[in-house]
Amino acid sequence: MTIDDLKNDNLILFEVIAGSRSFGLDTPRSDTDIKGVFYLPKDRFFGLEYIPQVSNETNDIVYYEIGRFVDLLLKNNPNILEMLASPADCVLIKNPLINNLKLSDFLSKLCRDTFAGYAMTQIRKAQGLNKKIVNPLPKEKKSLLDFSYIIDGYKTVPVTSWLIQLNYLQENCGLINIPNSKGIYALFYDAIGNEGYRGIISKTDSNEVSISSVPMEKHPIAYLSVNADAYSRYCKEYRGYWDWVQKRNDERYTTNLKHGKNYDSKNMMHTIRLLQSAENILHTGNLEVKVRNRQELLDIKSGNRDYDDLMKMADGLLNKIESLYNDAPLPEFPDKQKAERILIEIRSKLYES
């Protein structure tokens, strides 16, 4: 099922402009995000394949099936609550049946965890970009050899340096396991190359060393320590970094480089916005999507605030949220049974004909 199918079959119940434009944080270069709600035709709903959402390739246009939408409302998902609370000027399509879903039936103290939890995710993203900007990884990938060392008395020597110093080839080395010694191997060398040794690694991207069959009468010339765990962490970091480079928004990345604060300023803006939303929800029992401090938030997005100051601001908001929690004018959880009754009524109306 595609977005065109939803439109052609008149299945869309609710459609809004989301993201920065709904928050009042858009600039002339902002994209337009569209989110909405659709319903599955009766035969598709009662069939074997339930379709919870439909989106385009870039996920800036997303429609949720009405059942999935209500489920996420019950979980106090920030994006979904903000959809339901969209300002009137951001609503493009609204079937009267959507009016049965009232924001007051879903807002609960769960917002403390969902909004603040989402905000902490944004902080981790911002910190992750900080690390990527400050510590870029070379395109040439390291091999397991770069995490292997010859034990030399009370010190270790990188095996790559050791091989160069002795004019040895790693392909002519043979390794055997040493019992009860994780990551430690006895190393043998065959200068002629007729012993059939398998080398230290079989190829440059090997994740583990090669073990050879070595005659009992042979004596090791050295002992090798291999930090396979460190290499595994490096590989994960390497993949993450270059995947990020490939997929990153270059304009956003350039902005972050220009302000020179070494963090993702857009993520930090949304961190503060989410925490302020959570504070307001717990204080008033209501959700306001359109922000009242546009300039402050855009100032953060522009990178005009120091990272440490923003973290202090976030900590202050988290403390405020905790202090408001117990006396918040909200139920602990949304009324699931009521939401289910409303959902059944909506489906019944949709499937009447």
Residue 164: is its pLDDT beyond 80? yes
How much is the pLDDT for 251?
54
Per DSSP, 207 falls in state S
Tell which CATH classification among 3.40.50, 3.30.460, 3.30.160, 1.20.144 matches the domain 1-105+334-353: 3.30.460
SS3 275: helix
CA–CA distance, 60 with 79 (Å, rounded to integer): 13
pLDDT of 253 above 70:
no
Q: What is the mean pLDDT of residues 93-97?
A: 97
| Cβ-contact 19, 31 below 8 angstroms | yes
Single pTM value for the model: 0.66
| 306-337 tens-digit pLDDT | 888 888 999 999 999 999 999 999 999 999 99
Strand order in the sheet with 222-226: 155-158, 148-152, 222-226, 184-189, 173-177
- Checking if the pLDDT of 138 tops 60, the result is yes
**Whether the Cβ atoms of residue 310 and residue 300 lie closer than 8 Å to each other:** yes
How far is the C-alpha of 145 from the C-alpha of 224, rounded, in Å?
A: 10
In the chain, at which residue ranges do the beta strands (DSSP E only) sit?
A: 12-18, 33-38, 53-55, 61-65, 91-94, 148-152, 155-158, 173-177, 184-189, 222-226
> What mean pLDDT, rounded, does the chain reach?
90
Task: Domain ranges for the chain, please list them.
Answer: 1-105+334-353, 107-136+249-332, 144-228
Residue 293: per-residue pLDDT:
95
Closest CA to 273 of 292, 252, 249: 292
Q: Which pLDDT belongs to residue 304?
A: 87
